[in-house]
Structure 1
Amino acid sequence: MRDMALILVTGASSGLGRDTADALAGDGHDVVVHVRNTARLADAGDTARWKGVVTGDLSDPDEIRDVARQAGEFGRFDTVIHNAGVMRSPEAVTVNVVAPYLLTALMDKPDRLIYLSSSMHRTGSTDLRRLGEGTASYDDTKLWVTTLALAVAHRWQGTSSHAVDPGWVPTRMGGPGAPDDLAAGHRTQTWLATHPEATPPTGGYWYHQQTQTPHPAAQDEDFQGRLLHALENHTDAVL
């Protein structure tokens, strides 16, 4: 990876996504931010620091595809950070799982992929019928996106892929009473995005720059394959 990396951060208008994008831009990297619409940047400060902005509602599959098209105009990214997420159903399955899958499938392979997980993935279900039915819980979606990250790591040589639990931090999603350190919430993502010395170099589940053991299903090659097959059928896009 070159010293100045080209990096896409989804869901970057506020919260952890904004903190991640700010930190990377502050380190001199070319950062492209994704926001749902340009109005989301109205209070986001000086956008001159960004290499560019892509817009689209990640709860809408057609707009996800357009985000991939817009991002493709910047060329191949060194790193893509799939940060965007919501807690509410039924949007959660599309924003938290389908969008990262589709963007991964449709964009040129980057050097590095980082998918935002959660400790709540440990209580997620492996019942993939919930994907098509739109009944998946937040916990389900975080198990599935963690599985996606590790499936990509297993299948794509030359691209590192990691899942990151940022902790329960006091963002708009996490709420003001969240107990984890907000500043620590983005450090693992920014470090993995730009530093080659991470161990393992791919397929890690990270919390505060340390690896942990994820839900067993996330590392199960059979479940990884079933999830990818379900997502292919759901989106008509092949990874």
Structure 2
Amino acid sequence: MSRIFITGSSQGIGAECARQLIAADHEVVLHARDAHRAQAATAANPGAVAVLTADLASLTQTRALASAASEHGPYDAIIHNAGMGATTQRELTEDGLERIFQVNVASAYVLTALLPVAPRMVFLTSGLEADGTWTPEDLDWATRAWDGRQAYADSKLHDSMLAFHLAGLHPESAVNVVDPGWIRTELGGPDAWDEVDQGADTQVWLAVSDEPTAQDTGRYLKRRAPLSPNPIAREADARAELISRLERATGIALQ
């Protein structure tokens, strides 16, 4: 039996990961953005150990989530599933960060920095990370003309970079990044061609499987198969600069 923490697990792929893991008798701690979503998470997965609430667009709430999650640990696996899609306009959070960057990247960084690194770490990306660009001087889109789709693709590239950086820091852990596919969820939309159980399968496998291939590290996977990520994600200097900029943006150092 393993204990797993899953961010963004009130609906969609995260909730399906929880369902599959609980059905296999694992202990799962869920996360929801607000009280309404927490109720939905409890209803969808009543067997969960706990449902924690925090808006990842807030550094204060993300810090509090790390503290609350630590009370239910230690974890055998952490799945960084939470994320948001493209927006039509650039939006700033209460912390002055661009919202997509904060929710999709900075929050995963903060939780990774404040929680012990689990033996298995899974970060969600997207096939759109292939279109991501590395623009370290303007991660917040303060000077570029806003492009919501590009901002989303960039954030997914940043998630891959964060995962590979962590894999290098912690070779004792299996740290991987997963493209779940285009999944028919609220985020993926009704035209997506893959079902939610397919979108959750690789993360669940990485979190708990005893198969040797599930315990390798530093990979970009889809449907349990390793693929080649955006080449920028393999550049150590770029990854180090991202971590440095995240540290400055959040005031939190990655150990």
Alignment TM class, shorter chain as reference? over 0.9
TM (normalized to structure 1)?
Answer: 0.94
Identity %: 34
Check if 1:10 corresponds to 2:7. yes
Give the distance between the partners of 2:203 and 2:214, measured in 1 at CA: 14
Give the distance between the partners of 1:177 and 1:13, measured in 2 at CA: 21
Match of 1:31 in 2: 28
Instruction: Give secondary structure in 2 for the equivalent of 1:49.
Output: coil
Check if 1:217 corresponds to 2:214. no
CA RMSD of aligned residues (A): 1.6
Unpaired runs of 5+ residues, structure 1, are: none
Match of 1:129 in 2: 137
Match of 2:242 in 1: 227
Check if 1:237 corresponds to 2:247. no
Give the distance between the partners of 2:136 and 2:76, measured in 1 at CA: 31
Query: Which digits, 9 at most, give the CA deviation of each residue in 1:74-105, with x for residues without a partner?
Result: 12111110000101353211111001100000
Equivalent runs, 1:1-239 vs 2, <5 Å:
4-44=1-41, 45=43, 47-87=45-85, 88=87, 89=90, 90-133=98-141, 137-196=151-210, 197-198=212-213, 201-239=216-254
Cα offset for 1:159?
1.4
8 Å Cα contact 1:57/1:63 also seen in 2: yes
TM (normalized to structure 2)?
Answer: 0.88
Query: Which digits, 9 at most, give the CA deviation of each residue in 1:145-203, with x for residues without a partner?
Result: 01111111111121111000000111000001112233211000000001242267100
1:102 and 1:115, CA in 2 relative to 1: closer, same or farther beyond 3 A? Answer: same
Q: Aligned pair count?
A: 236
Give the distance between the partners of 1:154 and 1:86, measured in 2 at CA: 27
Which range moved further: 36-45 or 23-32?
36-45
8 Å Cα contact 1:76/1:109 also seen in 2: no
8 Å Cα contact 2:15/2:45 also seen in 1: no
Unpaired runs of 5+ residues, structure 2, are: 91-97
8 Å Cα contact 1:30/1:51 also seen in 2: yes
Which range moved further: 46-55 or 201-210?
46-55
Instruction: Give secondary structure in 2 for the equivalent of 1:77.
Output: coil
4+ residue segments displaced more than 6 Å: none
The residue identity in structure 2 corresponding to 1:30 is: E
8 Å Cα contact 2:110/2:252 also seen in 1: yes
1:43 and 1:65, CA in 2 relative to 1: closer, same or farther beyond 3 A? Answer: closer
Cα offset for 1:109?
1.7
The residue identity in structure 1 corresponding to 2:239 is: Q
